[in-house]
Structure 1
Amino acid sequence: MGKVSFNVDAYTARLIGRENISGVRGALFELIKNSYDADASVCILYYSNGKLYLADNGVGMGAEVILNNWMTIGRSTKKENFTSDMGRIQTGAKGIGRFALDRLGDQSTMLTIQKKSTLVWKVDWRDFENSDNITDIKADLDESELSLYQFISENCKNQEMLNLFQSKFDSTGTIFEITELRDSWNDERFISNCIAQLSTLIPETLSDVFKLYFFTDENSIEEAKIQNEIENDYDYKLNFYVDEADKVKVKIHRNEFDFGEEFDKIINEAGFSEKDIDYFQNIPIEIEKEFSEIFKTRKSVENSIGKFSGNIYFSKINSTKKDRAKYYYKEISGRRVLEAFSGVKLYRDNFRVRPYGEPGSSNYDWLLLSSRKQKSPAAISHPTGKWKVSSDQLYGSVFISRLNLSLPDQANREGIIETTEFNLFKNFILEIVSYFENDRQYVFRKLDEYDKKINEAERIQKEIEDKAQKESIRLTEKDSISNETESDHKDNKDQIDLTVKASEAKKVIDQKDSIIRDLEDENKLLRALATTGIVTNTYIHEIKGITHTLNMNVISAYEELVEDGDISSSKESLLRAIDNKESLNSWFEVTLNSIKKDKRTWKKTDLVGLFKNQLTSWEKILIQKGISISFICSEETVNFYCHHFELESIVNNLLTNSFFAFTTPVPRDKKIKITLGIKNENILLSYEDNGPGLPKVFKENPDLILAAMESEKRDENGELIGTGMGMWIIDRTVKDYKGELDLSKNKTEEIGFHMDIIMKRGGRK
C-alpha cells in the first residue's frame, strides 16, 4: 500500500484542553503567561453576567502568526526565539496554551491588535466533539475596526476598570471573551478562591513590570489588584544566589531575638562573638563558596543546573511564655502566615511551577523536610543533636529559568521531570537551609547555657521559700514547747540553717526586677496603641471628609473628560484628587507609624532627627488647617536611650490636643512651637501653642488635666467626646523616664497651652 499519512482525531483538542489542564487556575495561568510573553505590562481578568474576559496590552498578533502558529497545535514562535522584544525569557513553548480557552468555556472570541492590523477570531469548542478529524474544524478570522476599549466597554459595568483600560491600553493588545462557562463563576466564593490561587502564581518580584487584576462589576482597582504579599514578619531570612561561574552567595538574616536594653550584657555573658553583635542588629551573615563546597564533600559536585536563586523565610507562629523569656523572642502576637503563602514555591521566569509548595498537594513538602526532621528530631537547644526545621515553618520562593535546560517541565505543566539534576537541585537547597539551621541552633545553645546560669536565681528563691516555711514551723513549735529553753533549741541536732547569702538573695531580686521591666514594657506598648486610637478617633471626621472629597474629584474628572471632553478641567480635578490622596497618606503616617516594630525596641536615638521626621508628617496635615509648626533645637544631636514610640506618643498627644483646640475660632495665626535643648545636664522639651488655652477650671490647677479620663473635649451638646487618656499617657511616659512635667506657665499666660518636660540626659540605660 506504500506510505500512509497520520491523522489526528478531533477529540485530541479535548485531551489537550479540558482534560490536560487541571482546573480553572491552570487554564487562567496558561493565558496569563501568554500575556506576559507578549510583553504586556497589564493583564486584566473581568467576570460579568456569565462572561469572562481576559485582556492584555501586549504586542498582539497578526494574521501570519494566527494562521501559522495559533491555529497549529504544538507550534509556537517561542521554541527557537524565546526572548521577547523587551528581553523577557518567554514562559511558553509547547504550542498548547491556547486550548486553555476550551477548559474555561464553550465559545471564545479574540480581538487582537497590532499596529497595522485588527483581527477578530472566533471558535466554538463544541465543534471538536462533532467532527472526526481535527482538520475539519474551522474558526472564523475577520478584520475589524473595533478598539480594545470598544470591545470591552459594551458589556462592562465597572467604571474603574474602564478607567484603567483607557490609561493602560493604547494601540496594541489582545482581549478574549469566553462564554458558556464551565464553572460556577456566579459564586463569590469561587471567584475569591480563584483570586487567592492566582496570587501565589506570580512572585512579589514581578509586580513592577507586570500587573494582574481581577475585576467584577463592583470592585475597585486596588481591590482587583492581585499581588503576592509574602509575609515579611519573619524570624530568619535566607537569600541565596548561584551565578554563571558557579559561585554561591548566601545571606542569613537573624530577626528572631530582642535583647533590649540588656544587649551588651547578654552578648558578653552568653559568650557571643564580636561578629554576633552585628548579626543581631540587622547585618546579615554572608557566606561565599564554590558550588561544590556547599555539599561539604571531598568529591567534586558539578553544577549541571545553571544560574538560580531563592528567598526562604523561617517563621514560628506561637511560642510558650517560658521560651519567650528564655530565648528573648521578639513580639510575634498576631503573626500568621496565610495558607496560600505557606510552603517553598518554585518559579520559572517569574511564574509558578505547580504544584511545588502548594498546600494540600503531595508536593507541598517537595524538599522532604518532614522526612528529614523525623531522622533528626533533636530539640533546638540540644547540646549534641542536629535540629532540623519543619516543613510548616518555612515559606518563600526559589527562582529558575527556561535557561535551566536540565530542569524541563512535564508535558502537562504539573511539575518538573524528575531528572538527576532535579534531585541535585533539591539537595542544594537543603544544604543552603542547613546553614540557617546551624546558625539558629548555635544561638539557642548559647542562650540555653546563659539561661541555666542566670536561672540559678530560681533555685535560690526556692531555697529561701523552703527556709522561710521551716522558720515558720520552728516558731510555731517554739510557742508550743514552753518548757524547752532557747539554748536547748540551739543544741538541737535537727536545727536547720535558715540563713541565706545576700549575694544569692540579690539574684532573686534582680530576676524579679527583670520580670517587672517586661511587664512595664508591655504596658508601654498598650499606651502607644491607645495613643494611636486617640489620634485616629480625633481625626476620623477629617479622614472621612478627605475621602469624600477624593471621590468627588475623581468623579468630576471622569465626567469632565468623558462626558464634556474638557481635558483641562479634568486634569485640575485629578490634581486635586492627588492632593487628597497625599493628605490621606499624611494622616495614615501620623496615626499608624508609631506602632511599627522597629520603634518598639530600646535603642540610642537622636531626638532631633526623631522629632524632625515626625513633625514632617504632621506639617503636611496642619498646614491644610492653617496651622504652622516650628521646631527649634540649639543642639545638632540630642542622644537619648528610649523606645521611639514612647517619645513620639508624647508629641502626638500634644499635637492632637492643639488640633482640637484650634477648632475654636481664634483671631490670630495658628502656631505651634516645639523647643528641644539641654539645660543643667537635663533634656528640656518645651511645647506651646497660641490657641485658646486651658478652660478656666484647669487654669488654676493645670495638673488636673494629667488625671486619667479627664478631658476638655465635648461636642456641641456638652457630651464628653474625648477619651481623657492623652495627657495621662504623657504623664506616665515622662515618669517612666524619671522626668518631670511643668504646667505652671498655664496659670499666668492668658492664651495658649504650655508644657515643659524635663528628663535626665541619656534616657534609660
Structure 2
Amino acid sequence: MAFRVAARTILELGAELISSDATALYELIKNAYDARSKRATIAITTVFKYSHLRDTLRRIEQAQKTVARQGADAAVLADRILQDVLSKIDESAPEHVRQEFIARVSQQSGLLSLAEALKAAFDDLNTIAVIDTGRGMTLKLLDEVFLTIGTRSRLDPSDDGRAFVGGKGLGRLSTMRLGDHLTVETSTRGERHWNVLQIDWRAFTHESAVSLDKVTVQPRQGDLKTDATVSGTTLCINALKADWDWDRVKRLTDNYFDRLFDPFHGYVRYPLVIEVNGRRIPIPTFAREVFAAAFARGSIRYDIDPVEGPGLTFDIEYLSYDRRKTEFWSREDILGVTSKDDVSVAAMESLGPFKADFHWFNRQKIKGIDGVGDRNKIRDTVNQWANGLMMYRDGFRVNPYGNPDDDWLGIDSRALSSSGYKVNRKQLIGAVYISATENPHLIDQTNREGLRTNEEKTLLVLLLRKALTENFKDFLNSVEAEARKKAHVDVQEVSNFLHSTAKKVSDDLSTLRAVVPAEKRGDVDYLQGAFQDMETRLKNSRDALVSAERQHRDLVDLAGVGLQVEIIAHELGRVTRQTLDTIAGVDRAHIPKSVAAAFDAVESQMRIMRKRLEALDPLGPNSRNRAEKFDVRGLARDIFASHSDRFARLGIEPELDLGDAGSQAYEVRAVRGMIVQVLENLIDNSIFWLRQQKRLDPTFVPKISLQIDAAASELRLTDNGPGIPRERAEEVFRPFVTFKPPNEGKGLGLYISREIAKRHAGDLYLLDNPDARGRLHTFVLSISGQ
C-alpha cells in the first residue's frame, strides 16, 4: 500500500500556499539566481486589466439575463459592452498586441461569443515572462527535476561552492499563483534545440477528482536554437489572475522589490530587471547616507568558540552622546536567557553564527542631511524603512520579517508595556544576517512566510529580543540619566551667585555716582536703573529655578514610587515562587521538622512585604521596620534548614559553616526580616544558575555553601555554578540588570539586597577571587547592625 495523492494537492502547494504575487515572483527570481544566471528579467505584457475582465464578464452575464427577461436586443447590448472594452485597452501595450486583441474581440456580435473571445484574448495576450540566462535544463532534467515536487537537487552542495537560496523544490509551483497556464522553454549550453514544457494548472483544481498520476505532463523538444552556446530558461505565464499594469507593478517595486536583496551594506545586489509593456521600472535603492541621521546604532555577533562554546557580542553606540558600550554574553548568560523556553543546550551550537546590525532614530528630532535631503525627506525615508529588523539569508530576504504588520521580535509589545516607548519598530532600521551553510536549522516554512518554529529559531528570537528591548534600551536610558544628572543646576549656588553679583554692581554704581561730575550722573542713573531692572529679572529667574527644582523633586519622588512598585512586584513574585516550592516539598503524611523553619522564613518575608505595601498607602499608617537583636548564626541555620527539601529535590549539596564553636558570638541589631530577604535572594539566584549549569552538564554536581565569619562581621555565599564575569561585578547591582527571562525576575533582587545592607551600615559585593575563566562565585554580606 502507498499514499494516493489527489491532483488538487498541487493547487494547495502552489496557488493556495503562496500568500502574495510578490512572494510568487520572488521564488522565481531565486530560481534564476540558483540557475547561476547573471540577472533575472521579469517582462510583463498587459493589454487589458484582470479587474476589467471580471467586471466585463459580470456585465455580459447581467445583459444575458436582461435579454432573457425583457427581450432586449442582444446585439445592441454586445456592441455597447464591446465599445467599453475597447476604451479600456492599455495604450502602452505593444502595437501588435493591441491590434490582435482588438481584432479578436471585435469580430464577435453576440454576448456569449464576446465573453468567450474576450476571455481567450485576455488569457493569451496578457503574460508574465521570467527570463534567466543561467544553466538551463536538458529534456531529462526538465522531466526528472522540474517535474519532481520536493526535489533534492538544491539540497546537495553546488559545484561552485555558492549556496542555493531555494531548496524545497516547490518554487516553480508559485507560477500557479500568478496564472493558470505555464510554458517553460529551456536549454543548456551546447544543445541545439529548446526544450519545452506546457502545464495547464486548471487540471489541478479542487473540482478535479483524479489522482496526481493520472494528469499527464510531458516535456518535448522545441524549436532549433539560433546559437547553440546560448543557455537559460524562460517561464511564460498566461491566464493571469491579477492586474499587472504599470501603476500596480510600480507599487510592488517600491514597497517590496526594493528590499529583496540586502540594501544596507553597499554590496552589489543581484541584477533584476522589471518591465511593463517594454518600459523598465526603476528599482529604488536605500540611501545609506540616511544612517548619518541616526541617534544610536547596534551590532550583534553570535559565534561558536571551539573551546568556550557559543557567545554573543553586542556593540552599542549612542551617537548623540558619543557613548559606547560592548557587552559579551557567555554561554552561561545564554543559559539564563533561555531557562524558561524549550531550548536545549545543543541548540545553542546548532543555531550557528549570525549577525545583526541596526540604527535607531528619534523621529521627533531628525534633522536634514546636506546632499541627501531636508528633515522631511529624511523622516519620510525612515518612515518607509523603519519596521524593525528584516532578515537576509545569503543576501536574499526572508519574508515577512520587517514588514509593517510583522512584529516578529515582539518589540512593539514590549515597548507599549513599558514606560517611554523608547525602542519601537518605527524607530529601527536594520537586519539579521544568516546563511544556508552556517544556519542549516533556520529553515523557511513551506509557505515562505518566515522560519519554521524550532529550537534554533526560538533561541534566535530570544537573543535578539533581549538585546533590543532590554540591553539596548537600558543603555540609552542610563546614558540619558547621566546626562541629566550632569546638567542639573544647583539652584542655591546659582541663586547666591546672582544675588551677590547684583548687590556688588549696585554698590559700585552708588560709589561711582558720588564721584563723577554732575553732568555724567544721568548716565550713571541710567546704568543703575538698568541694573535694578536686571536684578528684578534675576529674582524672577531665581524663583523659576526654585520652582523647577521643586518640580524635579516631585518627579524624582514619583519615580521612586514607581521603583518601589517594581520592587514590591519583584519580592511578591520571588516569595510566591519560594512559597510554592516550599509547599510542594512538604510531605503531607509526615510533616518534617524543617516545616517550622520554612514557615518562619516565609512569615518574616511576608511581614516585610506588608510593611512595604503600607509605606505606599498614603491613607494608611506608615509603620516602621523595627530592629531587633538576634544571632546571625541561628538565622543562617534556620534559612538553610528551610531549603533542605528543595536542595535535596534539585540534587544540590549544601554546606553551612557557622565558624568555630568557641569563637565570638555574632549578634546584630537589625531588621530580621530584611536580612532574611537578602539571604533568600542570594540563595534563589544561586539555585537558578546552578540549574542552568546542570542543563549544560548533566553530570554536574551543584554545590552551595554559606560561611559565617563573626570576626569580620561577614556572611559569604558561594556556589559552583557558572559565576559572574569579573567585569560585570558592579553592573549586577544596578536595577533591572538581569539575564533571567522576564517571568523569572526583573533584575531588582541584588539592587534591593545591597540597599538593605547599606541601611544596616554594611555592604553586599562580589568577592574579587576569579576562577580560571575570570568569573566570580562568592557574594559577601557584611553586616554589623550598629
TM-score bin, normalised by smaller chain = 0.3 to 0.5
Output the TM-score relative to the length of structure 1.
Answer: 0.47
Output the TM-score relative to the length of structure 2.
Answer: 0.46
Q: Which has the higher contact order (CA 8 A, sep 6+)?
A: 2
Larger Rg: 2
